[in-house]
Copies of this chain bind each other. A is one copy, B any other.
């Protein structure tokens, strides 16, 4: 164990996700377990620049394992994109005696950490926290599993209405660059079709599918659409398009929006957060730096931050086929 690490800082950055608090708790308690001090840094990199620090003992994270959001708050920091900002941040860490940093967030957060590490040789370790699951090197990001449950619960409710009225619903879910949420929640919610950024189904194919579905005796249908679907139309345009071509359909739209980011984390996300926090801190204590901790084939692993940033998290295309079969 590294003799040099006496104090570790932890922050959350970027969009919040369920499980971030559980990860903070894990980092704080793993530090305490190893008799290391832990400092919470508020509002991500911006708080690092402003010296918004607070010592965190094991009791300071009581009763947060099940809370959505992040008690350390999150913010986007333009200042951290400047050399000057990063210098100030580094100085603050040095002044406070903080020896290493655990950052919880997504792509942007990791990019910031890597630059910071490159510039100052400062030890950093990343924990993937975002509902989008769009990070290379981990099968699951923190919050993704919870978001899937939130989405299917919402669509279950919409289906009550859809099937009572024989309606077609376009439901927009989060995922600007990655279709993980749409694809899995779509299968989970029994969607007729799923439109994602990775695959262009084509408008004709969509129409055909809806017509086939109607012909097969289905009285209502749900189409799940990723924010960044490749088909190039948002849910409102899709509604118009389908109404024009299938006037017999009563088409509605629902944009699930920000509630997908909140809520009490699922058991999976809580356990994952606990495991990743332990690994992040213990990896630092073993002298490692510049890695992301993640889950790969059910095991906790390390991926170089650079790879985590550059690589892309692929959807499982077999799931498209499963979805297709399920909507028989």
Does the CB pair B152–A59 fall under 8 Å? no
8 Å CB contact of A184 from B59, B74, B189, B271: B271
A and B contact pairs by CB, cutoff 8 A, 23 listed: A12-B164, A15-B161, A16-B161, A32-B328, A33-B325, A58-B328, A59-B216, A59-B218, A63-B159, A65-B188, A68-B160, A69-B161, A73-B164, A75-B165, A139-B298, A149-B267, A157-B259, A184-B271, A188-B267, A188-B268, A188-B274, A297-B298, A298-B298
**A87-114 CB contacts (< 8 Å) to partner B:** none
A82 within 8 A of B: no
Question: Is B326 a contact partner of A262 (Cβ separation < 8 A)?
Answer: no
Question: Are B322 and A278 in contact, with the CB atoms below 8 A?
Answer: yes
Quick check: A274 and B187 within 8 Å, CB to CB? yes
CB neighbors of B among A214-257 (8 A)? 216-219, 252-257
A255 partner, pick from B73, B151, B257, beta carbons under 8 A: B257
Cβ of A70 within 8 Å of any chain B Cβ, yes or no, is: yes
Q: State whether A258 and B158 are in contact (beta carbons under 8 Å apart), knowing that A152-B66, A217-B59, A218-B62 are contacts in the complex.
A: yes
A-B CB proximity, top 3 nearest = A157-B262, A160-B262, A68-B160
Q: What separation, in Å, do the CA atoms of A70 and B219 have in the docked complex?
A: 14
The answer to whether B59 touches A156, judged by C-beta atoms less than 8 angstroms apart, is no
CA A274 to CA B184, docked complex, whole Å: 11
B contact residues around A297 at 8 Å (CB): 297-298
A268 to B29 CA separation, bound complex (whole angstroms) = 29
Binding site for B on A (CB under 8 A): 12, 15-16, 18, 20, 25-26, 29-30, 32-33, 58-59, 62-63, 65-70, 73-75, 139, 145, 148-154, 156-161, 163-166, 169, 184-185, 187-190, 216-219, 252-264, 266-268, 270-271, 274-275, 278, 297-298, 318-319, 321-322, 325-328
> Chain A interface secondary structure, helix, strand, loop or mixed?
helix
A253 to B258 alpha-carbon distance, docked (Å): 8
- Least CB distance from A40 to B in Å reads 14
Q: Say yes or no: A164-B16 contact (C-beta < 8 A), given A33-B325, A158-B262, A262-B159.
A: yes
**With A32-B328, A66-B190, A149-B266 in contact, do A322 and B161 touch (Cβ < 8 Å)?**
no
